[in-house]
Structure 1
Amino acid sequence: MKKYRLTAWILICVLLLGGCGIIEKQKDSHEPRIFGATYMTRNNPYFDVLHEAIQEVVEANGDILISRNPCQDQEKQNGQILEMIEEGMQVLFLNPVDLDKVRPALEACKEAGVVVIDIDTMVKDMEYVTAAIETDNYQAGVLCAQDMMNRMDHARIVVINNPIQASINNRIQGFMDTVADYPAYKVIAEAGGAGEFEVSADAMAVLLKKNIDFDVVMGGNDPTALGALATLQQYHREDGVLIYGIDGSPDFKSMLKLGYVTATSMQSPKTIGRVAAETAYQYLDGQKVDPYISIEPTLITRENLGDYEINGWQ
């Protein structure tokens, strides 16, 4: 009988403790919050990885992440942000198409009390942003220039940029500033590539028809550099040309392994996405957050390619 009573008492304690756990769990639960995300394009796998990293953190917290793809159209992105505000969005992860023309959407977010976390490339009007997370894009460009200068005593350089994208602007500026005091390295042509493979391929075709002489291509990101490579190969002009990108994408690393391209300054969309989402939650929890978080890039060449997973993102 005593044994029975002891067992019953233990069972009651377990149930009471379990009940306390249930009560505590119910106390900590909340109605799912809506987070929004918009990227300048989903035509670049980089943004898929970035989105997945954010989504993992948001869903682990029991919340919902909705997203939009403006396809490189800022007016469309502004409209989609307004739609997400109407859907009850409380936090926006923003990767703007145009650093300047995104302002109306930023103003709408401020009026609606939506927290804006700027990711990967900066807006012009940073006063509307709670926190910004990106790679040190200027340094990414510096690393490419330094590698080129180590490989060549002189160079004639083609730059393919995207003037409306702050991240690419900063990368190109880092590259240009590094070679500015060395007359042996000349930028002989610039073209807009929109940060996309097809547009950059077409831009390179236009330059080749001008019969300019060059031996280096600096692309604002990996798709830009790979688009240039595709056209150079089509015109049988790739021999002797150094090609630089920025991202560290699987496609670029595959071409690097084959010797078709020269180097890429590595970004980590996984890290950017995770840090952005964690920063958003810290802010929602009332913690003080850093208004700007910069993540250092690393240059990937054939010499150190073995240190990285070729078929995946960092």
Structure 2
Amino acid sequence: MKVPKKEKNWIILLLCLCILFLAALTGISGFLEHRLEIRGTTKTNETTYQKHIAMINEDPTEEFWLSIYESAREEGKEHGLYIENFGERLVEDYTAEELLEMAVAAKVDGIILNADGGDTLQDKIKKAAKAGIPVMTILSDVADSDRISFVSGSDFATGELYGNEIIDEVEKKWLKEGRMIRVSVLVDSNSDRATPNLIYSGIHETTASVSDRMELSATVIDNSGKFESEETVRNLILNADAPDILVCLGAVDTISAYQSVVDYNRVGQTSIIGYYSSEDTLEGIQKRIIKSSVLINAQELGQTAAQGMSEYLEKDYVNEYLTVTPTLITEDNVKDYMEKEE
């Protein structure tokens, strides 16, 4: 039986449409699988994931945080954990509290949280625990909460590193100027950091041997953003009693101090002891504007957090405190770190 030409064309058209429809379904299916939005055991890029972990920081794009996250993500693969930098792709900015609430609503399997000092964090962590979602804090703790563990550098050991650098600089300036040396420690304005903590205690105890040659003070600084940090540092630098030594406990403050000392012609007058290994900080050390920088290895922090979360999910137990040993970047080893950055 001969099929009329008109009907034949319709059949060909329908076949083409069916092929296009099947291709579209295949593409959508592949996209969804690639996005890892199917809960349970998912295989993507030859990696099998059993659990979905949200890592939360108020600024998900911060340089130090991204280093921690990338290390945690890679380590998580080894343990079947898909670790997401939660909130990174959101258009609006959210607080750590809000992101924590979203992660709980998304029913993730675990949360690694850098707390922002919010008043309701304890309640929100408790809510997560009740939902069966373990919360681990990193860098900043939420004391007396239901968090399973706290990952950080050894605060007292970090304070000792800062303290030894302060002693060295105080003795040099004392011999040169023969007066009390003003030392200002920049302390985070978040509630957990606003009062002298273990780092400050470590500094205070370590520098006791030169306490008769220096005036040690803590300056509370709002480092919620680069502008706020720069404003506080600038005011300190331009003060009649400007500090002879600026001790920075944060990466943003270190960069602000470096830029302010250069901009306001305080090079050689105000020494900087900084934090982390950002490009600007390494440059400052190489130029001898920044004396040294304390580094809590971001890779070790990320690996430790991922390992700790994996251990808890497997055994329902993990040590309450997981610490990473801090190191010091100086003029002697700064080239090694610059090569790593390159």
TM-score interval w.r.t. the shorter chain? 0.7 to 0.9
Q: Does 1:160 align with 2:186?
A: yes
SS in 2 for 1:265: strand
Instruction: Return the match for 2:333 from 304, 310, 313.
Output: 304
2:214 matched to which residue of 1?
A: 185
Q: Which amino acid aligns with 1:281?
A: S
CA positional deviation for 1:152:
2.7
TM-score, scaled relative to structure 2: 0.73
CA positional deviation for 1:65:
2.7
Q: Residues 89-143 of structure 1: CA distance to partner in whole angstroms, max 9, x if unpaired?
A: 1100111111754212212111211111211221122x41212211112321221
Q: Does 1:132 align with 2:150?
A: yes
CA positional deviation for 1:304:
3.2
1:56 matched to which residue of 2?
A: 74
TM-score, scaled relative to structure 1: 0.79
SS in 2 for 1:68: coil
CA positional deviation for 1:294:
1.4
Instruction: Return the match for 1:172 from 177, 200, 218.
Output: 200
Q: Which runs of 5 or more residues in structure 2 are unaligned?
A: 1-42, 175-180
* Pairing of 1:229-248 with structure 2 (within 5 A): 229-248=258-277
1:4 matched to which residue of 2?
A: none
* Residue correspondences, number: 283
2:121 matched to which residue of 1?
A: 102
Instruction: Return the match for 2:240 from 197, 211, 228.
Output: 211
Superposition misfits of 4+ residues, deviation over 6 angstroms: none
Task: Answer whether contact 1:58 1:277 (CA < 8 A) is retained.
Answer: yes
Q: Which amino acid aligns with 2:63?
A: P
Decide whether aligned partners of structure 1 residues 230 and 279 sit closer, same or farther in structure 2, where only a CA change above 3 A counts: same
CA positional deviation for 1:220:
1.4
2:296 matched to which residue of 1?
A: 267
Q: Which amino acid aligns with 1:215?
A: D
Tell me which structure has the larger Cα radius of gyration.
2
What is the alpha-carbon distance in structure 1 between the residues aligned to residue 258 and residue 217 of structure 2? 18
Worse overlay, 268-277 or 191-200:
191-200
Q: Which amino acid aligns with 2:115?
A: P
Q: Does 1:79 align with 2:79?
A: no
1:8 matched to which residue of 2?
A: none
What is the alpha-carbon distance in structure 2 between the residues aligned to residue 128 and residue 287 of structure 1? 14
What is the alpha-carbon distance in structure 2 between the residues aligned to residue 175 and residue 100 of structure 1? 28
Task: Answer whether contact 1:264 1:299 (CA < 8 A) is retained.
Answer: yes
What is the alpha-carbon distance in structure 1 between the residues aligned to residue 224 and residue 182 of structure 2? 22
What is the alpha-carbon distance in structure 2 between the residues aligned to residue 254 and residue 229 of structure 1? 10
Task: Answer whether contact 1:41 1:70 (CA < 8 A) is retained.
Answer: no
Identical-residue share of aligned pairs (%): 16
